[in-house]
Structure 1
Amino acid sequence: MATILKRNLTNNHNLKVLENTTEVNDVLRTISTRWKMMILYDISLGVNQVNKIKAAFPTASDHMLTQRLRELETEKFIERHVEGNVAPSLISYTLTTKSRALLQIIKQLQQWGLHWKE
């Protein structure tokens, strides 16, 4: 029991130290949440309506996709557009300047990974 407790305390301490020492961890935590980058990438390709996004990720739950889209909107990576006054309204998303800049960096990271892949 003492070993498990010690391990957990050490891990929590390490996480707090890392969290307080660099903003890079905050950035990575924000963008590495499951599905976020894939959703942004698909929106950049024109897959920008909710039903098309859901079709692109058939194994992802509706709840999870809705949650990720809301997070991306709150974080100012996407803008939500509602068309039509009657239900069901057509909801679509567009990238912001912030997300387009991020996708350029992600593409560079992808090229780096391909170059150094063994």
Structure 2
Amino acid sequence: MPQDQPQVIDTYRPMDILDAACPSRDVFVDLADKWVLLMLVSLRERNVQRYSELQRSVGGISRKMLSQTLRTLERDGLLLRSVDANATPPLVQYSLTELGKEIAEETRVLCNWTQNRANQVRAARSAYDERTAG
């Protein structure tokens, strides 16, 4: 379907993220990206950031992935990009929209679980690798 034509969503059909044809699936895929999740966490913790601040705060992200992730978040309505053209050079800042703040808060639970259980998961990986080696 051409990009300039809006996709018609069947409002009478319930959303089912497990259905490949469900419109919620592509939104989920965007949100499940590791860089998106880390960016949401960073912006939730620090509110407004410039490009270089975001790159420093999300360890390991390349400039290319940072730019792509920022565009994805802005396109999905989760990120606000503001430009102060009166500043020299122009001041570009990024912050979460209300929708972005909502999903960023939801990611907090996943982040907390991951930080609290990472050692158990790593131990399970090691045990699995030992059992299946050879």
Shared fold (TM-score, shorter chain, > 0.5): yes
Measured in 1, the distance between the counterparts of 2:61 and 2:113 equals: 28
Measured in 2, the distance between the counterparts of 1:54 and 1:87 equals: 21
Aligned length: 100
Letter in 1 for 2:28: L
Equivalent position SS for 2:20: helix
Letter in 1 for 2:42: D
Q: Does 1:19 align with 2:23?
A: no
Structure 1 residue 65: Cα displacement: 0.4
2:102 corresponds in structure 1 to 101
2:90 corresponds in structure 1 to 89
Measured in 2, the distance between the counterparts of 1:57 and 1:107 equals: 15
Identical aligned pairs, as a percentage? Answer: 23
Measured in 1, the distance between the counterparts of 2:78 and 2:59 equals: 23
- Residues 75 and 24 of structure 1: is their aligned pair in 2 closer, same or farther, counting only changes over 3 Å? closer
**Higher-helix-fraction structure:** 1
- Residues 24 and 70 of structure 1: is their aligned pair in 2 closer, same or farther, counting only changes over 3 Å? closer
Equivalent position SS for 1:81: strand
- Residues 86 and 111 of structure 1: is their aligned pair in 2 closer, same or farther, counting only changes over 3 Å? closer
Q: Does 1:32 align with 2:32?
A: yes
**C-alpha root-mean-square deviation of aligned residues, in Å?**
2.7
Segments of structure 2 that go 5 or more residues without pairing to the other structure are 1-17, 122-134
Per-residue CA deviations over 1:59-83 (Å, capped at 9, x if unaligned) read 2211110111011001000100112
Per-residue CA deviations over 1:42-101 (Å, capped at 9, x if unaligned) read 112226111101112352211110111011001000100112335532111111111111
Segments of structure 1 that go 5 or more residues without pairing to the other structure are 1-16
